[in-house]
A = this chain, B = another copy of it.
């Protein structure tokens, strides 16, 4: 592959998944990290941390249903009421000691938090969730979660799908039904 072709593909890959590290890109293209960095420089693509930071700044202020400190992971894209993306770097503290497999509830929490954040309402609670863990996640792996509001029923009921990937592989998917409340209503039963 010549350089022009490689740089074209590099841009395409980063449009598809903006959260690829230089290391991951170097594996994908089977070239050195140094070459990836030079390619990014020539193409004017900032490093991952900068890409995430600028995306995060635009995203977090849009959220209505959660406080900033209540969001799990780093929110990097937010089309309120439609879709959202967050990323989460798993650490040893999130994993079972015996196996280094990340505990399910940390993955679930990332998904649940994103499902709530994407809702365009002041208060949103989970009513029902159907979830599937598709592959074990090991500590150190980076989770990229994408939430999509599939449909809204009535004024207050939302169907949200969340898929979580490690690199390009899906490790978790969840279907959530959420109910939005005004604060006064929140005493009531979740139907």
Contact = CB atoms under 8 A, between A and B. Distances in A.
A132 B178 CA distance: 11
Interface string A122-134: 1101111111111
Given A99-B123, A104-B125, A183-B98, A190 B113 contact: no
Given A108-B112, A112-B105, A135 B70 contact: no
B108 A123 contact: no
A97 B133 contact: no
Chief secondary structure at chain A's binding surface: mixed
A190 B109 contact: no
B135 A127 contact: no
A155 interface: no
A128 B131 contact: yes
Interface in A68-122: 70, 72, 96-99, 101, 103-105, 108-109, 112-113, 122
Contacts of A104: 112, 125-126, 129
Interface residues of A, number: 36
A61 interface: no
A161 B184 CA distance: 32
Contacts of A129: 104, 108, 129-131
Contacts of A112: 103-105, 108
B127 A101 contact: no
Nearest to A177: B132
A187 interface: yes
Contacts of A125: 101, 104, 133, 136
A128 B132 contact: yes
Interface of A: 66-67, 70, 72, 96-99, 101, 103-105, 108-109, 112-113, 122-123, 125-136, 181, 183, 186-187, 189-190
